[in-house]
Structure 1
Amino acid sequence: MKIKLYLVALGALLLSGCSQPMAQAGVQSGGGGTIEAINHTKWAINHFSVDGQSGIDIIGPYQGGGGGCCYGVPSKWQPGMTVRIDWETGVGDMDGFPGFDKRDEYLAWEKKMKAQNKQHSAVVPVPDYTGQKTCGITVHFMPCDEVKVTTSCADYRRPGYPIKDPIKMTEPKVCPQ
């Protein structure tokens, strides 16, 4: 019973916080929703945020996820609107995992895996959503540490979704600077 009450209270707290960032900024929201992501790369997205709000999930290579509550864009799009995306990439597999019972081997493996993590940050434009319903924000992690965002309510790979890139993209040998 205590666990159930705790979960109900936690859910209410999370939901009540959904409108806070926009309210604190004095901006009227044009439509709220979650922070979602689509990972088009071979790297895992260990964590990510949009304007400091967590996307919550770890996202494996060539997968989608997220679910951070909540993100609302201003009711009116303005030219030059941007969002800041911060994220960490890492190895997306468990190759060489020795098991937890081999402590020294595990610690060496863990150190090797963490050494491959990289921190990234990008400020990206928010596409014009004038006259459209908005549903939070979806971040697309692309090869060469590029990022695209959309506020579209359509689902990825469905008609009307504005980002058409395939989920499985190959990173070029040399990325543009």
Structure 2
Amino acid sequence: MKRSLLSPLLAGLLLLTGCSQPAAQAGGGGGTIDAINHTKWAINHFSVDNQSGIDIIGPFQGGGGGCCYSVPARWTPGMTVRIDWESGEASTEGFPGFADSKKYREWRDKMKENDRQHSKTVPVPDYNGQDVCGITVHFLPCDDVKVTTSCWSPRNANYPIKEPIRMKEPRVCPK
């Protein structure tokens, strides 16, 4: 009788512990969702395939840290991710403080006038034969984005995205 009770309990425990294992251990690669902002705008929030990147990212900064992002064990041609984000005013110019709530709300509403929603589906570069460390989203001028699954630091010469951190937005963006 003890053995018949132990087997279902053991099976249930194994199923539950299997659910908590990161997808990366299933043969793909995984890590955090990070971002680098190459623009003068703040990134108020962002997501990759509807999974939050967590952080607000200021102009010309990095951030993110959403957990956890994984990719399939093998890259296939045509693989894409959908990036959704909101950009907005990065300046605190004219901030009246919180003491006068009416002035604060007016200032906040003025800042929110610059908030813009974006969505873009972008290709995932070939990562076959490479270590994969989550995904890093690069926010570029003209509402463009690039992604990489590289484990290299952006400061390393082997890092695949070479755009400078401080990029100027052209007067007219290509369509």
The TM tier, using the shorter chain, reads 0.7 to 0.9
- Structure 1: which 5+ residue stretches go unaligned? 1-15
Tell me, yes or no, if structure 1 residue 38 matches structure 2 residue 28: no
Residue from 128, 138, 162 that aligns with 2:160:
162
8 Å CA contact retained: 1:18, 1:71: no
Aligned residue in 1 for 2:83: 85
Distance in 2, matches of 1:110 and 1:67, equals 26
Which ranges of structure 2 fall in alignment gaps of 5 or more residues? 1-18
Q: In the TM superposition, what are the counterparts of 1:23-172 in structure 2 within 5 Å?
A: 28-172=26-170
Once residues 98 and 27 of structure 2 are traced to their aligned partners in structure 1, the CA distance between those partners, rounded to angstroms, is 47
Q: Which amino acid aligns with 2:144?
A: E
- In 2, Cα distance between equivalents of 1:39 and 1:82: 20
Letter in 1 for 2:113: A
**Which structure has the larger Rg over C-alpha atoms?**
2
Percentage of identical aligned residues: 67
Secondary structure of the residue that 2:164 maps to in structure 1?
coil
Distance in 1, Cα, partners of 2:169 & 2:113: 20
CA distance in 2, matches of 1:50, 1:29: 20
Deviations 1:32-69 (A, max 9, x none): 10000000000000000000110000000000000000
2: distance between equivalents of 1:77 and 1:164?
Answer: 22
Q: Distance in 2 between matches of 1:62 and 1:36?
A: 14
Cα separation, partners in 2 of 1:97 and 1:17, compared to 1, 3 Å: farther
Aligned residues of 1:45 and 1:88 also touching (Cα < 8 A): yes
Distance, in Å, in 2 between the alignment partners of 1:51 and 1:173 is 31
Separation of aligned partners in 2, 1:116 and 1:96: 15
- Match of 1:121, SS state, is strand
> Could you tell me how far 1:157 is from its partner in structure 2?
2.1
For 2:71, give the aligned amino acid. Answer: V
Report the CA distance between 1:109 and its aligned residue.
0.5
- Using structure 1 for the length normalisation, give the TM-score: 0.85
Matched letter for residue 62 of structure 2: G
Distance 1:67 1:18, change over 3 A: farther
Could you tell which deviates more after superposition, 96-105 or 32-41?
A: 96-105
1:50–1:84 contact (8 Å) kept in structure 2:
yes
Secondary structure in 2 aligned to 1:110?
Answer: helix
Q: Helix, strand or coil: the match of 1:35?
A: strand
Q: How many residues align?
A: 157
CA RMSD of aligned residues (A): 1.7
TM normalised by structure 2 equals 0.86
